[in-house]
Amino acid sequence: MTASIMGIPDSAQAIVIGGGVAGCSVAYHLARLGWRDVVLVEQHELTEGTTWHSAGFVGQLRSTVTQTRMIMYSAGLYPELAELTGLDPGWHGVGGLRLATTHERVEELVRQAGAAETYGLDMSLLSGRQTNDLMPMLHDEDVLASLWLPGDGWLDPASLARALAEGAAKLGVRIVTGVRVTGVDVAEGAVRAIRLRGGGEDWVITTDTVVNCAGAAAGQVGALAGVDVPIVPIKHQYVVTHPADIPSSTPTVRDPDNIVYFREHEGGILVGGYIRTPEIWEAADPLARSRELFAPNLPKFRESWAAARHRLPVIAKRTTDDFDETQVARIVHGPEAFTPDGEFLLGETAVRGFWVAAGFCVHGLAAAGGVGKVMAEWIVDGVPEYDLFGMDVRRFGGYAGSSRWARTKALDSYAKYYDIVYPGEERTAARPLRRSPAWPRHADLDAAFGEKAGWERVNWFGSNTSGSNASGDGPRPLGWAGRVWSPAVREECLATRDAAGLFDQTSFAKLEVSGPGALDRLQRLCANQIDTKVGTVVYTQLLNRRGGIEADLTVTRLGEDSFRLVTGTAYGTHDAAWLRRNGLDVTDVTSAYACYCLWGPQAGEILERICDDDLGFPYLRARRISVANVPVLAQRVTFVGEYGWELYCPAEYGLTLWDALMAAGLPYGMRPGGYRAIDSMRLEKGYRVWGLDITPETTPYEAGLGFAVRADKDFLGKDALDPAPERTLRCLVLRDPRRVCLGGEPVRVDGVPASRVTSGGYGHRVDASIAYAYLRGEPEEVTVGVDGTWVEAVIEPRPPYDPGNERIRPPAP
């Protein structure tokens, strides 16, 4: 299986760096898709980086549908590998339990069970007694409930990697060990070759495709190509007890309330946990030595050990509270590659042809098969089957190049790995970082800040919860939707409806494309017609070859060959990369401009107080004006369904413009507003959000965006579009307005699982609970599972608020 060093070729179609489970899986799946001229290089022997000491858990249920589908694929692949390769991958399909010992965790399990229905994942929600019946060895007096996943299990990591490697080798992949990557040659922004050293000799392999699967050393390998890969090696520890006659059929168990997990291992118990005070592995050359381990640190492991003794009487009988090395057969304290948000790093970097599949964050063995599958599809076909934005290396901006930032975020992610994550909950690590020019004024108004892509963004203003104009709390949602909530959001929505709202959207990404040929290239990517008059704003999608939506944005024509594209806060790096990959030169000008949105029936009168220019230009038009002496590009665009403008100005004028707008607007009843109000109002109008309602897996026609498709022009993905799709995105209004969806809830038609909620919330202007879901056929009613309660919902054919779009027009005099 392993080639000799002398067999290193001069060129290859692709080179995979790293002989762990990630590299072996990527190489295997590339070969399955027909790329046989692939070389995998490893500086040691296979699996000797971080794979070999993995605990091997395979838990299918994750927080997103993509994560879950990837691991479901893995769980299906692993049992097949023995037949495919002749090697046993070490798969133990014993099932898995996830315990709840607090009422909050039970709520989480109920939501997860609902999500599992939408994934088609086999799962049962058990009571504490049923949990004990399934696994009598557990101490269950404090177990309130559990989830049982019969498809879960565990793997021997080295066996899995060897089986994947054998499968790759049988398909023609050349595997070379004992060679170290010393350089990556880059020219004109693209990979050209890699440099190797081994056995005292040097080699160069030319290639257009390199996949960095170097695990904890992926950051160092990325640096060879001039790429920041925000990998943080963190020390992770588990122990294995002496044999205690534990049956090999024992399910895996996770007890997140007590930060412990365990499974059977050679008749004993493997016990691991996520400590609250993790440590970074400070190494100038990570993984330079094979099978690297650290000295045991038992004081840090006491909490997980105590939890294991509590949960498993068989351990408590054989050990004492005074934990020392004599009580266990083995202690494994090794490095694991973590990322700033605890999610994988996958995809192509800013250097064309230089790909990353790293940052497995302890749970990588479970998803390794799925990672190999999607990476191979991405590399070979240009588009993976699943929506991978949450794992895309391009979800981070340039700020991720700061090792201090990456470390702070990664340590926080590790320490809170088993914490319940409530929708809308904000973490504070490494904040604040990026701030609007108006940030000081936001802080003065008691803003509740959230963070996205490093930006501090106002969720709501605490100042809007009191005063003579406050209209009361309104209906606080039941369940999880009411946990992160403020009456200020309602005030901001109603003020925007009745007078005006002022919103800071400086964080939205702004990309500029210009120069000869810009129109033709951009026209080829946009589904809508952008060859329009200068000053026109066009709403459009960028599609992949399958017709899926890769980006959702507005394009403003600033000149004959000059365009500004505005996209979501977190999507700038991703969208710019898509444009560049398709031949466009792109400049990210996000930080150069502030953007404030003035929306509402009084917006015109407010702006006229501080602007002498003609404001009578129509919807979806842009004009340069002066507002309170500030040069502004005003765009007649709205994301809340009210009359008004997006106002862009150079950043140095940003504070002046905010102050002028506030002074002019307050006498008219205007209020500053945050992103929670924007989200509420866009739900009422049926405006879609990329990453939730629309993704690379959905088409414009499915999403109800056919109006933004010009069938009389040519564009990427056009041939794959079906104007009459089997499923479409539908608006659901729940009959119980206090039951509010947050996304991911199961939807049933006639009692049969049919879909999941893409996004949801409360519409304050219409006083209704609103959700969206893709449905087949023409049902009139559905039921939605909200926090374990099934709620009837009516399907509305038109947006609940102002379906005729009257309010985006100038108010009557």
Going by their DSSP bridges, the two strands 153-155 and 124-127 should be labelled as: unpaired
Residues 193, 206 contacting (CB under 8 angstroms): yes
Residues 596, 537 contacting (CB under 8 angstroms): no
Catalytically annotated residue among 552, 575, 679, 787: 552
What is the 3-class SS of 603-641, one letter each residue?
HHHHHHHHCCCCCCCCCCEEEEEEECCEEEEEECCCCCC
Q: Please report, as a single letter, which amino acid is at residue 613.
A: D
Catalytically annotated residue among 261, 386, 762, 801: 261
Q: 45: closest CA among 128, 144, 165?
A: 165
Catalytically annotated residue among 53, 236, 333, 574: 236
Question: Phi/psi of residue 713, each to 5°?
Answer: -130, 165
Q: Which distant-in-sequence residues (6+ apart) come within 8 Å of 284 by Cβ? A: none
- Lookup: tokens for 548: 């899926």
CA-CA distance, 175 to 166, in Å (whole number)?
10
Q: Which distant-in-sequence residues (6+ apart) come within 8 Å of 540 by Cβ? A: 526, 527, 528, 530, 553, 554, 555, 708
- Lookup: tokens for 113: 């069970």
Sheet of 190-198: strands edge to edge?
180-187, 190-198, 201-206
Q: Which distant-in-sequence residues (6+ apart) come within 8 Å of 459 by Cβ? A: 424, 426, 447, 448, 449, 450, 486, 674, 675, 676
Catalytic site includes residue 261: yes
Catalytic site includes residue 363: no
B/e letters for 436-458, b = 16+ CB within 10 Å, e = fewer, are bbbbebbeeeebbbbbebbbbbb
Residues 49, 177 contacting (CB under 8 angstroms): no
B/e letters for 723-750, b = 16+ CB within 10 Å, e = fewer, are eebeebbbbbbbeebbbbbbbbbbbbbe
C-alpha distance from residue 113 to each of 98, 122, 783 (Å): 11, 10, 16
CA-CA distance, 397 to 673, in Å (whole number)?
26
- Lookup: tokens for 572: 């700038």
Residues designated as active site: 236, 261, 552
